Structure 1
Amino acid sequence: MNVIDFFGWLIFLYMIGASVFYFVLFLLSAITLRRERGLNQKVPYDDLLVSRDTKPISILVPAFNEEAGVVSSVRSLLSMNYPEYEIIVINDGSTDETLTKMINAYKMEPVTMTVRKQVLSKEIIGIYRSTLFENLVVVDKLNGGKADALNAGINTSRFPYVCSLDGDSMLEPDALLKAMKPIIDSNEQVIATGGSVRIANGCRIEKGEVMNVNLPRNPIVTLQIIEYLRAFLIGRVSLSKHNLLLIISGAFGVFNKGWVVKAGGYKQDTVGEDMELVVRLHKVLAEEKSNKQIRYIPDPVCWTEAPDSLAILRRQRTRWQRGLFETLRTHYKMLLNPKYKKVGFISMPYFVLIELLGAVIEGLAYLYIILGLLFSFIPIELSVMLLVVTWFYGSYISMCGVLLEEWSLKRYPKKRHLLTLFFYASTEMFWYRPLNIWWRIQGLWQGIRKRSDWGVMTRKGISKE
């Protein structure tokens, strides 16, 4: 066996191992979701509305140049089905009309509030409260990035739980109740929960409310929907079951504020502040020998705007990969460390070997396949086997994610929706996944070079006023 064949077999074995691992995650997730299917969840959530154990929440909405969607996003939050909560929009030095639109839309006036500086954040310039809605506040501060804005929100917040939410996102009315239920049921043994994030492009949304769920016409956005189903319903459901979850999406997560403050708040020098905080929480829990848990809840849905062009999508994906690299580099001592138990021996190796390095190895698999089909120095048999296993890893697992959607939430009720999703999932490895792999490799390289900028993310808005 020559060197080329040897590396080809190594890539093949890696792809087989990663596919088996993902398929096991799929089976575990399917079992979990099928057990919950058909259960009447309405009564327990109604009970939470009148329960004394339902803690008040501060919803933190960091906003930088979000003039296109922040007003409608806040409107959806004002109609949340929850006993007591406040909405804190943090204007992070926006250069557009974000602050002006909020002040005009909600008749906001300057107020004086006590701000407890529990975590580091940049200077607050002013605070405004709505004269229409007493629980709506805008914090105007110097630009410091999303993590810094969230820290400013934590310092301003009054309640024991905080919910982080993107400025272009909208929650379904019962989302907070559903996210808080595991915390209440566990007597606050659960200290953080994350919910499903769904893509709103293509849906009809009016005045902050999803009126009709539909698929977008843009195939780039449709493939992102499939990606989200794969990531949330396969990866996070199964990892959460065993307290192995290392990421709660920055688009929607609920946290015990005391534990966030104890961990030091959000880290400002990373573009992956959402994952970094969750990993640090696991670290703090292990060091204090606490049995607190971090959970993912598949039902509470947050709707967000997805990039609809390759240029913007590339910026997002390279940033995500940089954030992953930065987090794993910061906490590399947790890897295979007995002190951190299952997180150190399962979660950390999974994110290093599959989520981080997987793009490089999968990229080599594509290169090997192409060279094997074009040139004779690579065995055609091995290239064909790699093609099959790469399709399974890239497309079949995504189709499994679509299947889990049909088994569980059924947000896409029409049969043509499912057929469209299955079709696009089957074609993923031939065009969309290679692009993603290339962007992830670029993001990894940028992380190694310590690039720190976010990149421009243009928003069009997802709600009609």
Structure 2
Amino acid sequence: MIFLFLSFSVILVYLFLMILSALEMRDHRRRNRFSDYGDIITSPMAPGVSILAPAYNEGQTIVQNVKSLLSLHYGKFEVIIINDGSKDDTLAKLIAAFELEVTDFAYYEEIIANPVRGIYKSKNRSYNRLIVIDKENGGKADALNAGINVSSKELLACIDVDCILSHESLTRMVRPFMEETNRKVIAVGGVIGIANNCDVQDGTVTKYRIPTTLLGRFQVIEYCRAFLMGRMAWTRVNGLMLISGAFGFFNRELVIEVGGYFPKTVGEDMELVVRMRRYMEERNIPYKVGFVPDPLCWTEVPENEEILSRQRNRWIRGTIETLQLHRVIRFNPNYNFMGMLSYPYWNVFEKMAPVLELMGLIYTLILIIIGDFSAFYFIALFIVLYLLSLLVSSFSILYEQISYNNYKDRKDLNKLILTILLEPLFIHPKIVYWGLGGHWDFIKGKGGWGQMIRTGFKKSEDKKNMEPNNLNL
């Protein structure tokens, strides 16, 4: 009976999220239909933005990535590249390309981080927005903390250095900070698009295509579900607990107040958001965690099972670590919506989902062995859950097509529909297995990110030449 209750709880929760996300998407489109983001660029009231981009062994692409960041359309911003103890020629290429020299920068360690070996600025005034920090290796969270210490603007834009940002990304992401009057906006997240098999020119995606592999296409659907449905829904009720580490904006003053990123977790992005929310809740300060559903950032996703499994293992470990660190929130009315709904949802439907599915499988096998198995009940429940999966995935793709229509080729849409049909049968079991591996590794005390190998983005002028890029995560 408990598994029947859990199954129908999943159905009701996802139907509820679909409704909330549809309402939030409708309101977002109405608010922004006639918006002129050019006013934000020139407004003296617009907050400054410090872009923080940790880099480790990014020598092959670092120069082009930094040039792309420096070309963003915004008035007040700085680009801070944190060379986190790279073992390749990342720093040497930055020095040569941007005419960098060591400066007597007054480094004040507001947040503890590994030692900084040098802070560089350019002799060329064309690159006066650029600051490069060279430090001892300490991981992404530690690198971001060093960047926060050097930053000087009101907002922090924490990104992955290899991500592709839209030229309008800063103007669109700072708008929620400027619009809210009755609540303090502490953080804003954005949509992460998948750039595999897309054409990229001058740091901009010029031609959208879906990935060529089934795993890649699955992640297109998954990202649409997560961003255009899940996070839009939680934003509607101000219950968002996660902002992607690849693209998130934060109130600098509050980040420093709560102590910056926590380096001892692999889920530093989620942990920081939860800690900031706890700080506001415990002081009864009205606040909001916002979300911008516009396609402003693109990244490359793994299309190899081994690499994808390590990523999902890391994600589940990060989720468990964050929920364990902040378990005081669980069903605690003092934390309002976050304590009574957001935390329980993440605990059951994100953290425990692989374990519960395994228990359901074991329970079914026991029923078969003892002869108390109803084939009709099992098939009926399986069909209902399968159809729910199709419904949720289809609506997420529908949201993308209605709002942005990036995938205009009918063949691409047909392949996405086919992937939706195949995902519950062939990919979801692997995701569950990798999630169980994350639970087991957490129990064993395994840490670290592992290594992720990228193939590189496809350039419009040369679609055939794709150089391998090793990124040690």
Same fold (TM over 0.5): yes
Pair 1:173 & 2:158 matched: no
Structure 2 counterpart of 1:11? 3
User: Secondary structure of 1:458's match?
Assistant: strand
User: Secondary structure of 2:454's match?
Assistant: coil
Structure 1 counterpart of 2:315? 320
Query: How many angstroms apart in 2 are the aligned matches of 1:254 and 1:425?
Result: 32
Alpha carbons 1:373, 1:383 under 8 Å: kept: no
Pair 1:196 & 2:188 matched: no
Structure 2 counterpart of 1:50? 42
Moved more, 255-264 or 113-122: 113-122
1:35-434 equivalences in 2 (<5 Å): 35-37=27-29, 41=33, 43-130=35-122, 131=124, 132-187=126-181, 189-365=184-360, 378-434=373-429
Instruction: Report the TM-score, using the length of structure 2 for normalisation.
Output: 0.92
Query: How many angstroms apart in 2 are the aligned matches of 1:367 and 1:405?
Result: 37
Instruction: Report the TM-score, using the length of structure 1 for normalisation.
Output: 0.93
Paired letter, 2:119 = I
1:258 offset after TM fit, Å? 0.2
Question: Per chain length, whose mean CA-contact separation is higher, i.e. which structure has more relative contact order (CA < 8 Å, sep 6+)?
Answer: 1
Query: How many angstroms apart in 2 are the aligned matches of 1:462 and 1:371?
Result: 48
Paired letter, 2:283 = E
Alpha carbons 1:34, 1:408 under 8 Å: kept: no
User: Secondary structure of 1:451's match?
Assistant: coil
Query: How many angstroms apart in 2 are the aligned matches of 1:167 and 1:367?
Result: 43
Alpha carbons 1:176, 1:300 under 8 Å: kept: no
**Structure 1 spans left out of the alignment, 5+ residues:** 1-8
User: Secondary structure of 1:60's match?
Assistant: strand
1:200 offset after TM fit, Å? 0.6
Structure 2 counterpart of 1:26? 18
Alpha carbons 2:260, 2:272 under 8 Å: kept: yes
Alpha carbons 1:162, 1:256 under 8 Å: kept: yes
Query: How many angstroms apart in 2 are the aligned matches of 1:375 and 1:106?
Result: 72
Paired letter, 2:445 = K
Paired letter, 2:274 = V
1:194 offset after TM fit, Å? 0.5
Moved more, 78-87 or 262-271: 78-87
Query: How many angstroms apart in 2 are the aligned matches of 1:240 and 1:248?
Result: 11
Query: How many angstroms apart in 1 are the aligned matches of 2:425 and 2:59?
Result: 37
Query: How many angstroms apart in 2 are the aligned matches of 1:360 and 1:369?
Result: 14
Alpha carbons 1:18, 1:393 under 8 Å: kept: no
Query: How many angstroms apart in 2 are the aligned matches of 1:444 and 1:70?
Result: 35
User: Secondary structure of 2:206's match?
Assistant: strand
**Structure 2 spans left out of the alignment, 5+ residues:** 462-473
Alpha carbons 1:172, 1:302 under 8 Å: kept: yes
Query: How many angstroms apart in 1 are the aligned matches of 2:107 and 2:34?
Result: 37
Q: Residues 264 and 430 (structure 1 numbering): CA distance in 2 closer, same or farther, change over 3 Å?
A: same
1:190 offset after TM fit, Å? 1.1
RMSD: 2.1
Deviations 1:108-154 (A, max 9, x none): 22222122211111101112223341111211110111100000000
Alpha carbons 1:174, 1:300 under 8 Å: kept: no
Deviations 1:25-79 (A, max 9, x none): 0111112213333665464311111211111100000112223433332222122
Alpha carbons 1:69, 1:463 under 8 Å: kept: no
User: Secondary structure of 1:266's match?
Assistant: coil
User: Secondary structure of 1:44's match?
Assistant: coil
User: Secondary structure of 2:190's match?
Assistant: strand
Structure 2 counterpart of 1:6? none
User: Secondary structure of 2:187's match?
Assistant: strand
Identity %: 37
1:219 offset after TM fit, Å? 1.3
1:377 offset after TM fit, Å? 5.1
1:209 offset after TM fit, Å? 1.8
Query: How many angstroms apart in 2 are the aligned matches of 1:230 and 1:171?
Result: 21
Moved more, 416-425 or 279-288: 416-425
User: Secondary structure of 1:385's match?
Assistant: helix
